[in-house]
């Protein structure tokens, strides 16, 4: 009988607009993390769309493939992002593939799969967080530094012929699109903020000491 009041309380909450029963087992930090996970994944999907608009030739490397098809591949993949066409490479290795002169595949897909996979590692492969889940602030902060490195590589790494591997902010020497800077900046800020929130929730200091002084990615987890 003692469970009846709890059941009634749960049913009342369920009927009250936006409240979901699963939120009963979520802390405030969990709810914030859920929003950050959703925002980072949405940003990765937007990046894919924007990169294909600037680099349509990459999509044509897979006859019949569409942007919607690529988005669907990311959406249905759970856990580790890994695809045979990238030789099983994932995370940082997949991102590096986008700048490999010998790679003949879709560089946009390699970059986005790598970035998305790395961010999934930072969130411990969780789609949402619950009360007894936890995140490693150092891993989140390192992921932010890796996004900075990725942005640097996109701007500065070039093919043997001098052309960029992927067109983003600059085309034929003219800076004509700053939206990529803003999008990468958003992802960096999200990761840094979540790192500090995760650190505060566990009373752990996060200094951001792992800075991108080099131009190589930081392996995760650290």
What six digits make up the tokens of 49? 């769309």
Query: How far, in Å, CA of 48 to CA of 109, rounded?
Result: 7
pTM of the model: 0.82
In 3D space, the residue among 120, 95, 98 whose CA is nearest the CA of residue 40 turns out to be 120
Q: Quick one: pLDDT at residue 24?
A: 59
Q: Quick one: pLDDT at residue 23?
A: 60
In order along the chain (222 residues), what is the average pLDDT of each group of 10 residues? Answer: 46 50 68 92 97 97 96 92 95 97 97 97 89 87 95 94 92 81 95 91 51 68 62
Question: Burial code of 132-145, b = ≥16 C-beta within 10 A, e = fewer?
Answer: eeebbbbbbbbbbb
Query: How far, in Å, CA of 196 to CA of 208, rounded?
Result: 9
What six digits make up the tokens of 48? 């894919």
User: What is the domain partition of the chain in residue ranges?
Assistant: 27-201
Q: Quick one: pLDDT at residue 212?
A: 43
Q: Quick one: pLDDT at residue 88?
A: 95
């Amino acid at each position: 009988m003692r469970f009846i009041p709890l059941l009634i309380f749960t049913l009342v909450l369920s009927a009250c607009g936006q409240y979901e029963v699963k939120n009963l087992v979520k802390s405030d930090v969990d709810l914030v993390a859920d929003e950050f996970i959703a925002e980072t994944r949405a940003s990765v999907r937007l990046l894919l769309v924007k990169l294909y608009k600037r680099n349509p030739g990459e999509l044509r490397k897979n006859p019949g493939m569409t942007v919607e098809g690529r988005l669907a591949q990311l959406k249905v993949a759970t856990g580790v992002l890994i695809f045979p066409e990238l030789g099983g490479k994932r995370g940082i290795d997949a991102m590096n593939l986008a700048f490999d002169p010998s790679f003949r595949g879709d560089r946009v897909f390699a970059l986005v799969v790598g970035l998305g996979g790395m961010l999934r590692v930072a969130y411990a492969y969780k789609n949402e967080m619950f009360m007894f889940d936890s995140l490693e602030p150092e891993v989140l902060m390192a992921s932010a530094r890796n996004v900075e490195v990725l942005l640097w590589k996109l701007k500065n790494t070039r093919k043997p012929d001098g052309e960029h591997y992927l067109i983003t902010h600059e085309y034929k020497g003219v800076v004509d699109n700053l939206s990529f800077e803003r999008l990468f900046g958003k992802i960096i800020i999200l990761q840094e903020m979540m790192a500090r929130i995760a650190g505060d929730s566990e009373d752990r200091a996060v200094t951001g000491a792992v800075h991108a002084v080099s131009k190589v990615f930081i392996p995760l987890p650290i």
